[in-house]
Structure 1
Amino acid sequence: MTADGNRRAESRDASGARASGGRPGPASVETIDWHTGGEPFRIVPAAPSALTRDGLSVAERRTVAVADAEAQWTRALLCREPRGHADMYGAFLVPPDDEAAHLGALFWHKDGFSTACGHGTMALGAWAVASGLVPASADGETDVVIDVPSGRVTASVRTVGGRIADVTFTGVPCHVHARDVEVATARGVVVDIAFGGAMYAVLPAARIGLRVRPADVTSLIAAGREIRDALNASRAAEHPADSRLSGVYGTVFTEEARPPERLPDGTRRLYHRNVTVFADGEVDRSPCGSGTAARVALLADAAELRLGDELLHESVVGSVFRARIARSATAHGLSAVVPAVTGTTYATATCRFTVDPDDALVPGFTLR
């Protein structure tokens, strides 16, 4: 289901919730909160019951979540004010597809359920190690295998002296979907589209007269929304094999932070900056894990990033992911790469959110 389908499902659910008293969810929800590169990630270990029943893949559980009143209500409760905010992000933990994975995750935001989340995968890996769910040595690297709607991904958690130093997210094969796509907007821009677990439109911020900086975020949000909506209206990002992965999820605005550097071993290091506007105008504070994966696919396709090279991808708040090509691949008959993206993630809170039966503002509100 596309992001637009998520919004339509949310509207139907909101109407149904009002008709039934508006309280289809639990009286309290417990979460563990992390951030990866500044982007929040709210983990819900006890998912709504419809999402945990036997016999479903994680991709199928996402379809169930979109139609389930309790899942939508709980998501809204945790994303909207006063318990969240317009840029909140998180996941319900669900059973994996099989015993080869440690857990499954359904990612959500204020507008619905996404198919991929690199920063969330990093946070989940760190949480799984920190909580003892996946045993790890004091020094070394531990793989946490996670099933998500776009496929099976791995969070490799590196520990030093018993502390988590960083996490590397290795995603699904990523490919270029289309180059030089004209977008029917007031600005008349041209974008590239790539799949990084979700579909992203990518363009230099300078193409619309802006910079990747906090002062331009409001204008970037407006442009990102317009580009995404125009591309989805024209069905410009239809996935070649799975319609549930179709539709542009986000717009990645890029700029070069400094010229590329040739390292002593002959490899190159690229220094880029980006801001990703995803869903309906949400801004990723991190360099965006799945957006970075899409960016790696584009750079590899253009031979700007080769095996052994590194992309330092900086966010609008200054946090950095280090990305590289883990290996070449094919996906649905297309040339693809499997990116590896490394970043840092930290726990911020353990929460128990409650619902007062007299609170007329439940499940909450957004002002953007």
Structure 2
Amino acid sequence: ATLRIAAATISYRCVQSTHGRARRALNAGMVPMVEPVTKFALEAPAGLVRIEAVCEHGRVVKVTLRNTAAFCRREDMDLRISVPQLGEVRVDVAFGGMHYVVVDAADVGLELTPENGREIARIGEMIKVATREQHPVNHPEYDYAGPDILAFRSETRRMPNGALAARNAVVMSNNELAWDKPSTWTGMLDRSPCGTGTCAIMALLHARGELAIGEDFEHESIIGTKFIGRLLEEVVVGEGTEKAVHGVSPSVSGRAWITQHAMVVCDPSDPFPEGFTVGDIW
């Protein structure tokens, strides 16, 4: 069983963390490695995650998981949101495991490069909060309100192999934004291509008729790392209810590397046993 805790949120299904946990489980012998493909499941708060790990010469070279159903409702597309200091911004809202505000970076004059990280985070958090205030959403099957995260995306392009590709930058909260306190207009970036964000954007592209079932989608992060997403089939989310929506079942493939083996301890005399925060990036 797994649970991912970020700086300001608990994630009920984090794709990139699941890739890492799958690699760890296989490397540590917690799951017997079978070449060329090992299949198993990890338990997360959002339910069981089915894993397929491609293994070669005793190493994990690719991990693919099937994520929860993603969707983008027609009424959540092409929204016009009024954002302080920015004016009106066109956004879409899509679900890929979290409720994403999706924004074309060019619409707000942003280039998705690492040196623009601070401005990307600031503007992204402002747009997300404004969207949540003006266009709140919820999941059709259970009480999960949003939007709670944002993804800037570049223009999509066709690769020589025919796959669709794009670049993104995902903005997460690191505090509670207050419009009367500009010092709180901050956020933080996901350095990965973001798995649930990839699923949400694939659902949006499918709703626009730009990404077909079975077609690969190469999604690149702000630092150049990549996930390969694919829509496996169309589904109905909340079937049999008045809130049912058409969605898609996505998979995401990627890699992970073990970078550290650590032991965390807590001394009973430590004055900060639960940690601390200061007003820097948090």
Tell me if both proteins adopt one fold, taking TM over 0.5 as the criterion: yes
| Coordinate RMSD, CA, aligned | 1.8
Task: Measure the CA separation in 2 of the matches of 1:110 and 1:316.
Answer: 19
Determine whether 1:275 maps to 2:186.
no
SS in 1 for 2:122: helix
Per the alignment, residue 114 of structure 1 pairs with: 11
The one-letter amino acid paired with 2:256 is T
Per the alignment, residue 148 of structure 2 pairs with: 249
Give yes or no for contact 2:3–2:11 (8 Å, CA) kept in 1. yes
Find 1:365's aligned residue among 265, 273, 277. 277
Per the alignment, residue 219 of structure 1 pairs with: 119
The one-letter amino acid paired with 1:252 is A
Per the alignment, residue 38 of structure 2 pairs with: 142
Per the alignment, residue 23 of structure 2 pairs with: 126
5+ residue gaps, structure 2: 175-186, 239-243
Tell me by how many angstroms 1:318 deviates.
0.6
1:72-124, Cα deviation, whole Å (9 max, x unpaired)? xxxxxxxxxxxxxxxxxxxxxxxxxxxxxxxx222211113122211011112
Task: Measure the CA separation in 2 of the matches of 1:180 and 1:218.
Answer: 26
The one-letter amino acid paired with 1:278 is M
Per the alignment, residue 82 of structure 2 pairs with: 184
Per the alignment, residue 70 of structure 2 pairs with: 174
Task: Measure the CA separation in 2 of the matches of 1:229 and 1:142.
Answer: 41
Find 2:130's aligned residue among 217, 230, 233. 230
The one-letter amino acid paired with 1:360 is P
Give yes or no for contact 2:81–2:134 (8 Å, CA) kept in 1. no
Per the alignment, residue 334 of structure 1 pairs with: 245
Tell me by how many angstroms 1:221 deviates.
0.5
Give yes or no for contact 2:141–2:237 (8 Å, CA) kept in 1. no
Determine whether 1:153 maps to 2:49.
yes
Task: Measure the CA separation in 2 of the matches of 1:111 and 1:262.
Answer: 40
Tell me by how many angstroms 1:233 deviates.
2.6
Pairing 1:46-65 to 2, within 5 Å after superposition = none
Find 1:347's aligned residue among 255, 258, 262. 258
Task: Measure the CA separation in 2 of the matches of 1:111 and 1:163.
Answer: 34
SS in 2 for 1:172: coil
Tell me by how many angstroms 1:135 deviates.
1.4
1:114-138, Cα deviation, whole Å (9 max, x unpaired)? 222110111121112112222121x
Give yes or no for contact 1:125–1:156 (8 Å, CA) kept in 2. no
SS in 2 for 1:300: helix
Give yes or no for contact 2:103–2:153 (8 Å, CA) kept in 1. yes
Give yes or no for contact 2:12–2:44 (8 Å, CA) kept in 1. yes
Task: Measure the CA separation in 2 of the matches of 1:128 and 1:364.
Answer: 31
SS in 2 for 1:348: coil
Give yes or no for contact 2:229–2:253 (8 Å, CA) kept in 1. yes
Pairing 1:36-115 to 2, within 5 Å after superposition = 104-115=1-12
Task: Specify which structure has the higher proportion of helix.
Answer: 1
Normalization by structure 1: what TM-score?
Answer: 0.66
SS in 2 for 1:350: coil
**CA separation of 1:198 and 1:227: change in aligned 2, threshold 3 A:** same
Tell me by how many angstroms 1:261 deviates.
3.6
SS in 1 for 2:258: strand
The one-letter amino acid paired with 1:338 is S
Tell me by how many angstroms 1:145 deviates.
1.4
Tell me by how many angstroms 1:364 deviates.
2.5
Task: Measure the CA separation in 1 of the matches of 2:47 and 2:82.
Answer: 32
Give percent identity, aligned residues only.
28
Determine whether 1:200 maps to 2:111.
no
Task: Measure the CA separation in 2 of the matches of 1:235 and 1:115.
Answer: 23
Task: Measure the CA separation in 2 of the matches of 1:334 and 1:149.
Answer: 23
Find 2:218's aligned residue among 301, 312, 334. 312
Tell me by how many angstroms 1:147 deviates.
2.9
Give yes or no for contact 2:228–2:253 (8 Å, CA) kept in 1. yes
Normalization by structure 2: what TM-score?
Answer: 0.85
Give yes or no for contact 1:152–1:172 (8 Å, CA) kept in 2. no
SS in 2 for 1:146: strand
Task: Measure the CA separation in 2 of the matches of 1:308 and 1:343.
Answer: 17
Pairing 1:7-22 to 2, within 5 Å after superposition = none
Task: Measure the CA separation in 2 of the matches of 1:262 and 1:306.
Answer: 17
Detail structure 1 runs of 4+ shifted over 4 Å in the superposition: none
